[in-house]
Amino acid sequence: MILAAFEKWGTACFDTLSGIFALALWDSKEETLFLARDRIGIKPLYYSFQSPRLRFASEIKALLECSDSSRSINRLAFDCFLRVNYVPAPLTIFADIRKLLPGHMLTYKNGAVQISKYAREVTPAVSGDSFAYRARELRARIHASVKEELVSDRPVGLYLSGGIDSSAVLEAMTSAKGTVETFSVGFRLARGEQPDKFNADFLLARNTAKYFGATHHEVLVSPDEILPLFEEALFHLDEPISNATIIPMIKLSRFAKERVTVVLGGDGGDELFSGYERYRYSLLSSYYRRVPEVLRTGLNGVFPVMKKLITAPGIERYAQFHFLKEDVLKPILTPYAYHEHAPRDFFRERFFSKDADLRGYGSTRMNTDKREPFEEIFMMVDRQSWLPDESLLRSDKLGMAGGVEARVPLLNRRVVDFADSLPLRFKVSPFRTKIILKEAFRGYIPDELLHQPKRGWFSPGAKWLRYPHIASFAREVLSPDYCAATKDLFEWKTVRARLEAHLRGEYHFTELWAILTFQVWARIFKITA
């Protein structure tokens, strides 16, 4: 199909495709190679270009097998990783390897490479359709997308959490095929610990599955599995991702493989329909900045927390919600390794500039002349960076590690384009998130799901770090003797002091887990300084 489309339309065919792909196509007539990645970035595509030689693969490990491949670190990627806990494209953690951006293609001809954006931005439709009509249309589009994703000659199941996204997918699957196999993962706590927030979604998923008559399967991560799963997950990810959910994800994919080969999920719902609390807080900030300064001064005196809402839209507000604070990070890095401005400059130039397209990044449509609400830009940045480079990367690679194919019906083009046509007020208000998605499935999913607070999916990593066997492992890893290539990056006495403070009950999990992740990854991949 793709070859026929290319014969007819040339490279314009890539923008007509709806699906998950990372492809290479050789045009023998023009003696030109094309690489292309799907619009959302569901599948990764890596390349290394050292003129005139181009190498490419779906895994970094394949490129590293070349005898002359460098294993040195990209310092900007390292700086970004420590701020946002993943490596944003087009960077990879390796100096000589790049990610092809979503919706982009690479053209290789006569020993030269050109990167260009093939995906055209969809102009949001201007329509007078009512909120109720659009809510019905949204549900219909999700149903149609799920039907497409169910086409398979292998068994299909669903990763079910306690959230509205996967529950909406379950409602559509049940409507299309009847009984559905669902899979959830929870945490077996240490002796004496009580069930807590980390298993709240696990228990809610059980009730949701029962509501729909699904055949529900559950698995628990035990304390003695944490370290082996952690190292295995980092191997399959290729790059460091500081997110403790990689541990239950690889466990869940292997568990699901016992019964199905394809799994659907609710990925993308938060980015499309404004599900994260940061969008609501950002909207509050935008409103608060309109309050006259004299009134803000009074409010700040009564409610000191209000001062945090004054952040200007742009990179500073984005960093406020996404970046690890500099006063946390600076003491644990050596002067050689600390670069405060480089990550902000990278995100500013890629996402918060009207000239982003000229640098081959692709714009987030930020144009002050349009007076586009910052929250629209915020969601678009998350969709172009965090979603493909962290969330979807985890889902795809850890699914493949377990032997299952992960599919994402909420990121089907028909759903994405429709979501982009909706006004911001249909998605988020200062007091509500996912407004239209909840309305679309009101009466079709359990009411309790519509009123659940947004929790996110977290692993009890801070607790895990205090388990004796993991604390012992952390003491070994957080040391200059663990990996020669990283010994000059961190102030190890400060890192060890933070670890001991965390073990005594303080909270330093975020930075400790990032360094732990980086150290273990660095040894697995045998990086060089």
Domains in the chain (CATH in brackets) are 2-117 (3.60.20.10), 131-273+384-459 (3.40.50.620), 462-524 (no CATH)
By the 8 A CB rule, do 363 and 117 touch? no
Instruction: Determine the average pLDDT of the residues in 422-441.
Output: 95
Given this model, what pLDDT does residue 373 score?
Answer: 83
Confidence of residue 284 (pLDDT cuts 50, 70, 90): confident
Q: What's the whole-number mean pLDDT along residues 90-109?
A: 97
Instruction: Dump pLDDT digits (tens) for 207-226.
Output: 999 999 999 999 999 999 99
DSSP 490: B
Measured CA to CA in angstroms, residue 348 lies from 278, 315, 321, 497 at distances of: 18, 6, 15, 34
| pLDDT for res 369 | 39
CA distance linking residue 59 with residue 22, whole number of Å: 11
Q: What does DSSP assign to residue 445?
A: B
Beta strand 405-407 with 215-221 is: unpaired
In the predicted structure, residue 366 carries a pLDDT above the cut 60: no
Distance spanning both ends of the chain, measured CA to CA: 45
The residue ranking higher by pLDDT, 295 or 472, is 472
Q: Of 118-132, 206-220, 250-264, 293-307, which range is least confident? A: 293-307
Q: Is residue 204's pLDDT more than 70?
A: yes
CA–CA dist 211, 206 (Å, integer): 9
Q: Which residues, at least 6 apart from 451, have a Cβ–Cβ distance to it below 8 Å?
A: none
Question: For residues 13 and 428, what is the distance between their CA atoms, to the nearest angstrom?
Answer: 35
How much is the pLDDT for 1? 82
What pLDDT is attached to residue 358?
A: 43
Q: How much is the average pLDDT of 354-383?
A: 64
pLDDT at 356 exceeding the cut of 90: no
Distance CA 259, CA 24 (A): 32
Least confident of 254-263, 371-380, 465-474: 371-380
User: In 10 A of CB 132, how many CB atoms?
Assistant: 11
- Give me the DSSP letters along 167-190: HHHHHHHHHHHSS-EEEEEEE-PP
Structure tokens at 259: 């019964």
| Element at 22 (helix H, strand E) | strand 22-27
* Predicted confidence (pLDDT) at residue 302 exceeds the cutoff of 60: no
Instruction: Give the C-alpha separation, 126 to 428, whole Å.
Output: 19
- What are the backbone dihedrals phi and psi of residue 243, each rounded to the nearest 5 degrees, phi first? -150, 115
